[in-house]
Structure 1
Amino acid sequence: MIKNKLTQFFIISALCVSTVNAEQRLSATIIGSGSPLYNENRASASVLISNGETNLLLDMGNGTQANLNKLGIGARDLSGLLFTHHHLDHNEEFVPIFIGSLLGRNDFTIIGPPNTTKLAQVNLELYQEDIQYRLGKTQRSLETRKDAFKVTDIVGGESFTIDDIRISTVEVPHTIHTIAYRFDYNNQSIVVSGDLTYSAELATLARHADYMIMDSGGMVMSDGNKKKRKMLRIKRKMALKNRLLERI
């Protein structure tokens, strides 16, 4: 049996930064902290960065929509869709969230490492008839909603602003191009690493930050030797069967 024993989110924080009122509060809510292995009780990677009416969703693994719904937040409430990297456990629910945002009435931003633009464009083309049909129910068109969002590929090192939240980025080492993000607002700061190994650049990005969410994990095989013995027996039986067939 494979058990996901070691996958954890090391949360160097409470979930929220508290200030005088909600309008000035920058908060991070962990929507999912699971691994690539499907788990019906645990959503995969996703973090919601919020400030008043601004909601930025960083990564969209399996189960993201269900957990957002529990918070009373839908795709139409999101101001930005951001990616650390394009592994399936970090972007699996992008398509329905992207389409849900298009069906809303707010402007939104999509940002991530290389292939983010391609991911958005391919799915926009693939589902354009469905999106147009749904928008038509409220006398709107896809051409008009295309102007409501902007998608940008980044490589790390860029800084930009979504609403009043300042966002800084660095590339961090992983198996594919991966970005870590820092969110700053009103002298509050939250850093989210995404998957990575050691990174001196991340330490620089996180200097004097109030909170950091680091994603770290691994898997161990339980009863591994038993599985190997079982597979060896199967292979031996197949080899014997083939030899017998050759004699017939």
Structure 2
Amino acid sequence: MELTVLGTGSAMPVPERVQAGYLLDDGDRSLLVDCGSGVLGRLSGTGTGYEGVSTVLLTHHHLDHVADLMPLLKARWLAGEEHLEVIGPSGTKSLVDGLLDVYEYLDGRVDLAVREVSPARSFSAGGFEVAARETRHSMPCHAYRFSPPGSDRDPTDGPLTLSGDSEAFAGLAAFADGSDVLVHDCAFPDGTDVSNHPTPTALGEVLAGVDVETLLLSHLYPHTGGREREMEESVRTAGFDGEVRVAEDGLRVDI
């Protein structure tokens, strides 16, 4: 499967980084994970396009992860697409209902299904098999681990993990252990007094000894600008021994 990093930014986007969004594609099926502001435009520049995304999986409900959800629904309606499924943690139905209360003219334009999931059991989303884990953030948030469609691989042993928004902690590191690719929140550089997100050193310390081939740092605030190489080195120095890269919008990774 292929991962396209659509948005590596935060609630304070910069021109080269829109808000959170990740596209999974195996050639036949596609899944959009998070849909922050700017993601719809990035998605329109892919071969999949918004016409090819009928399922959105949300990590949580902060605005920088859901702002383009109604624009996606409208774009699909105008393109003649008939379905959209939105999946996410508890409260996702209330979120979508509230948005449709505001944008009432969009209600009923497509066949809209909403499903809430929990870490208690694995589930399917857009044909991908998914396991979830609660993270440490300022609101309930899920990390997700994925196996591609048609795979007999248990999603708890899947090749891709997305952290959602979270502090670095041992439970999430264990959840990602064995991943080929881990995309992890690393919102601020070292020296920043921050909670609900990790710094590079904190992340590297937690991932020391964890079996992850490639770590992609994402959800980057403007404070990280110009310090990308320093952040990569800090993760390595703190103990993580896999490949480390600061992710960029448009990055594609074969998994």
Residues of 1 paired with 2:22 and 2:94: CA distance?
A: 23
Normalised to the residue count of structure 1, the TM-score between the two structures is: 0.65
- Identify the match of residue 52 of structure 2 among 77, 87, 90: 77
Q: What letter corresponds to residue 97 of structure 1 in structure 2?
A: L
Alpha-carbon spacing, 1:102–1:171, altered in 2? closer, same or farther (3 Å): farther
After superposition, where does 1:93-104 map in structure 2 within 5 Å? Answer: 93-103=68-78, 104=80
Residue 122 of structure 1: CA displacement? 2.4
- Determine whether 1:63 maps to 2:38: yes
Residue 113 of structure 1 corresponds to 89
Answering whether residue 178 of structure 2 is matched by residue 203 of structure 1, we say no
Aligned to 2:141: 178
Is the aligned partner of 1:28 residue 2:32? Answer: no
More helix by share: 1
1:82-231, aligned counterparts within 5 Å?
A: 82-103=57-78, 104-105=80-81, 107-129=83-105, 131=106, 142=108, 145-146=110-111, 149-185=112-148, 186=151, 187=153, 189-218=159-188
Instruction: Tell me if the contact between 1:75 and 1:98 (Cα under 8 Å) persists in the aligned partners.
Output: no
Per-residue displacement from partner, 1:117-154 (whole Å, max 9, x unpaired)? 1121223344343x37xxxxxxxxx37x43xx421223
Q: Distance in 2 between matches of 1:34 and 1:66?
A: 14
In structure 2, what is the Cα distance between the partners aligned to 1:159 and 1:102?
A: 30
Structure 1 36/128 Cα, relative in aligned 2: closer, same or farther at 3 Å? closer
More divergent stretch after superposition (172-181 vs 93-102): 93-102
In the superposition, relative to structure 1, how do residues 49 and 218 fare at CA in structure 2: closer, same or farther (>3 Å)? Answer: same
> Which residue identity lines up with residue 212 of structure 1 in the other structure?
L
Alpha-carbon spacing, 1:164–1:91, altered in 2? closer, same or farther (3 Å): closer
Distance 1:215 1:27, change over 3 A: same
Superposed displacement of residue 96, structure 1: 0.6
Distance 1:154 1:122 in 2: 19
| Residues 57 and 80 in structure 1, CA contact (< 8 A), matched pair in contact too | yes
Judge conservation of contact 2:31–2:126 (CA < 8 Å) in 1: no
Q: Give the stretch that moved more between structures: 120-129 or 162-171.
A: 120-129
Q: Which of 30, 33, 44 is matched with 2:19 structurally? A: 44
1:110 CA displacement: 1.0
Structure 1: unaligned runs, 5 residues or longer: 1-25, 133-141, 223-248
**Aligned-residue offset at 1:29:** 0.9
AA partner of residue 168 (structure 1): A
Q: Which amino acid counterpart does residue 172 of structure 2 have in structure 1?
A: L
* TM, length-normalised to structure 2: 0.64
- Structure 1 position 170, deviation (Å): 0.7
1:158, 1:170 within 8 Å by CA — same for their partners in 2?
no
Tell me the secondary structure at the aligned position of residue 30 of structure 1. strand
What whole-Å deviation, never above 9, does each CA across 1:190-237 have from its counterpart, x for those lacking one? 110011112333233223222111111127699xxxxxxxxxxxxxxx
**Whole-angstrom distance in 2 between the partners of 1:168 and 1:102:** 30
Aligned residues: 184
Whether the 8 Å contact between 2:32 and 2:53 is mirrored in structure 1 is yes
Cα gap change, 1:102 to 1:153, in 2 (>3 Å): farther
Kindly state the Cα deviation for residue 74 of structure 1 after the two structures are TM-superposed.
3.0
CA contact (8 A) 2:55 2:126 kept: no
Unaligned runs of 5+ in 2: 194-221, 223-255
Kindly provide the CA deviation profile for residues 86-111 of structure 1, in whole angstroms up to 9, marking residues without a partner as x.
11221111111133335543544211
Q: Given the superposition, is the C-alpha separation of residues 82 and 102 from structure 1 closer, same or farther in structure 2, using an over 3 Å criterion?
A: farther
Contact map agreement 1:61 1:92 (CA 8 A) in 2? yes
